[in-house]
Amino acid sequence: MPHSKSMNPSSSPLSDATPTQVLGACPHDCPDTCSMLTTVAGGIAIKVQGNPAHPHTDGALCTKVSRYTERTYHPERLLHPLKRVGPKGAGQFERVSWDDALQDIATRLKTISSRGPQAAQAILPYSYAGTMGLIQGDGMSARFFHKLGASLLDRTICAAAGGEGLTQTLGGKVGMRVEFFAEAQLILIWGSNSIASNLHFWRYAQVAKRNGAKLICIDPRLSETADKCHEHIALLPGTDGALALALMHELITHDWLDHDYLTHYTLGWDLLRERALQWSPERAAGVCGINPEQIRALARDYGACAASRAPAAIRINYGMQRVHGGGNAVRLIASLPALIGAWRHRAGGVLLSSSSMFPVKKAALQRPDLLAGKTPRTLNMSTIGDELLRPASTAFGPAIEALIVYNSNPVAVAPESAKVVQGFAREDLFTVVLEHFQTDTADYADYILPATTQLEHWDVHSSYGHTDALLNRPAIAPLGEAKPNTQIFRELAARMGFTEPCFADDDVALCRMAYGDAVDFDELLHHGFATLKTPEAPFAQGKFPTPSGKCEFFSARLAAQGLDGLPDHVPNYEAFASSPLYPLAMISPPARNFLNSTFVNVRSLQDSEREPLLEMHATDAAARGIQSGDVVRVFNARGEYRCKAEISRRARPGVVNGLGVWWRKLGLSGTNVNQLTSQNLTDLGGGPTFYDCLVQVMADQAS
């Protein structure tokens, strides 16, 4: 049986020579959250594979995570603490002891926080989902920053607009159970390159396809997924709201509606109906840059499911919400199933994220009570460039003086890199980075602290793409002097003089605490996963977790904030054809073999992606005298990025695809796509607008 030898959670990492398999969980920021089996012999992890006993993983890992041992034993793994010796950003460090590093960091933080009651706000944690683990993510670290009274971080960089859109419509990050997509008759894959970024969903979609379901992909890029669908609608970036409204227009005018569902389980239908009737297919087609007939055909397919009561399912992913109107667009798409009563079936409805379905005991893990009356400001991670450059003021409070980064690589992944880099380069900023590798961000650190990988620590995981909780056991001992994030914050807490007993909780205790009694911990220990007990068709009879219990087309909560209570199409900040200087829209979706900026330094995966690329349509390339393989300058008022052009059928006219997210220092001239993106925020949730970005492209004369 694939299992660690002992049921005792405190048993040490395996070190004998007979190969053993240890149950774990893939930690990466992906909806699939796979159950992983690591084969260990002589204390060395020799192989990782998907757990065949876990239904969603079904024995298969993606190409990237199959290379997890290559990443773990990478010759450039950080194995001991480092202290900066060169200028900021030069990446020059010398080895120091843990003791010296932690003592110096604690002294610096004490100096800042001892200046007055709210002075610790000058300290900012910066973290995201390098690991999705609840323990190595924000367990001990949150306790530490709460006790300190540091600025709070609004973790918006990925999912804020869509998350808020879902919450205002369905009541939370809730939706269909992923396994039931296999039984759908129609699947809309909307703003998701599932084959690259949600492979285990795609397996269910393929089952449906084999059983006769129609698959339609809605994406400006002819992605690997679009290739395998029956239809592809290549709309302009940021026009999904208009498409959804025109779809509603057609459902209404042909009466392809479930009136009973609308009457009993929705709120604001009359208002939404009136708005949708203003969006003829012709009007929307003009906005979306597509043919009105494509919209009519899409409506016929979706409407047919209303008439025949066949299950119609929509998989949205976060790709489509990284634009000005991303929140409203998600609201509109999440409203569609209610129009045709798709929620009546377990194989009907919509799924963007399932994360609110997990009963996480957040307060027990993160201990906001440690704030003890302090009310620190909250800063938005998506505008870190601006925040780092903001001087002290009455409105802002103190300038940021210390930054502690873990589970994130902001210098590469945050928008408008020129500002981010300028901020990180501040001589008067004290920066600590907990990392596996010397990333673009680590180059700017005053101290780099070596962190353990998933093979070396305990954790528990929720998922945003399925409804199983997972446990990760350590398979090997920490490499070099690396320590888990939790341990680093425990030791820092001790040096800060924090004496609350919660700073002594060990990782297994934290794992037990994460779900409390809501998930059977023994089941996690024995099987590595536990399926949540959720209804198969949660909204067949309404019961949405909204204030009204209905699907809220009209949101009184948004109206109370002075916003439009009804969703609408919100055009891009940098709308297509709005600038003669920058006539092309650029999106920067993930490269298949990277996970955001993780894995970019893993040789075998870098070899597959070759080099930073910009996909261009033949017409746009010809107009600029550009050929495949040419080095091009991609630029706008915010900056310039050099990469290779590829004339590709994957790009539609007017839109270029800059696949991301490369490390800046591995690019052609030390920048990546985020040199071009802006710090503008989405309509809802304060998210980033990576795909709302106009550029010009020219052949690079210098090359």
Which residues make up the interface to ligand MGD (CB under 6 A)? 29-30, 128-131, 136, 157-158, 190-193, 196-198, 218-221, 223, 237-238, 240, 317-320, 323, 406-409, 413, 434-437, 439, 451, 485, 587-590, 592, 594-598, 660-661, 673-674, 677, 690-691
User: Nearest 5°: CA angle at 359, between 548 and 515?
Assistant: 165
Q: At its nearest, how many Å lie between ligand MGD and the CB of residue 643?
A: 13
- Nearer to ligand MGD by C-beta: 192 or 356? 192
* Among ligand MGD, Mo ion, none, residue 444 binds (CB under 5-8 Å by kind): none
Q: At its nearest, how many Å lie between Mo ion and the CB of residue 701?
A: 36
Q: Report how far apart the first and last C-alpha atoms of the chain are (Å, whole number).
A: 57
* Among Mo ion, ligand MGD, none, residue 691 binds (CB under 5-8 Å by kind): ligand MGD
Amino acid at 228: K
Counting every residue written for the chain, the total comes to 703
* Among ligand MGD, Mo ion, none, residue 485 binds (CB under 5-8 Å by kind): ligand MGD
Residue nearest to Mo ion (CB): 158
Q: At its nearest, how many Å lie between ligand MGD and the CB of residue 407?
A: 5
* Among Mo ion, ligand MGD, none, residue 218 binds (CB under 5-8 Å by kind): ligand MGD
Do the beta carbons of residue 333 and residue 314 sit within 8 Å?
yes
Q: At its nearest, how many Å lie between ligand MGD and the CB of residue 293?
A: 19
- Nearer to ligand MGD by C-beta: 169 or 588? 588
Structure token pair of residue 217: 């992909």
- Nearer to Mo ion by C-beta: 158 or 445? 158
Handedness of CA 323, 327, 328, 333 (dihedral sign): positive
Amino acid at 366: Q
Q: At its nearest, how many Å lie between ligand MGD and the CB of residue 595?
A: 5
* Among Mo ion, ligand MGD, none, residue 221 binds (CB under 5-8 Å by kind): ligand MGD
**Separation of alpha carbons 323 and 327, rounded Å:** 9
- Nearer to Mo ion by C-beta: 454 or 696? 454
- Nearer to ligand MGD by C-beta: 267 or 602? 602
Q: At its nearest, how many Å lie between ligand MGD and the CB of residue 447?
A: 13
Q: Which helix (DSSP H) or strand (DSSP E) does residue 417 occupy?
A: helix 417-424
**Separation of alpha carbons 223 and 202, rounded Å:** 13
* Among ligand MGD, Mo ion, none, residue 136 binds (CB under 5-8 Å by kind): ligand MGD
Q: Is the peptide bond before 661 cis (omega within 30 degrees of 0)?
A: yes
CB atoms < 10 A from the CB of 287, how many? 21
Calculate the alpha carbon distances from 45 to 20, 67, 166, 415 in Å. Answer: 10, 12, 40, 36
- Nearer to ligand MGD by C-beta: 136 or 167? 136
Do the beta carbons of residue 275 and residue 281 sit within 8 Å?
no
Radius of gyration of the chain (CA): 25
- Nearer to Mo ion by C-beta: 158 or 530? 158
Q: At its nearest, how many Å lie between ligand MGD and the CB of residue 216?
A: 11
Q: Residues near 369 by Cβ (< 8 Å), separated by ≥ 6? A: 146, 363
Do the beta carbons of residue 350 and residue 175 sit within 8 Å?
yes
Q: If you ran DSSP here, which 8-state letter would residue 17 be given? A: S
Letters for 155-194 (x = contact with Mo ion by CB under 5 A, - = none) are ---x------------------------------------
Residues contributing to the site for Mo ion (CB under 5 A): 158
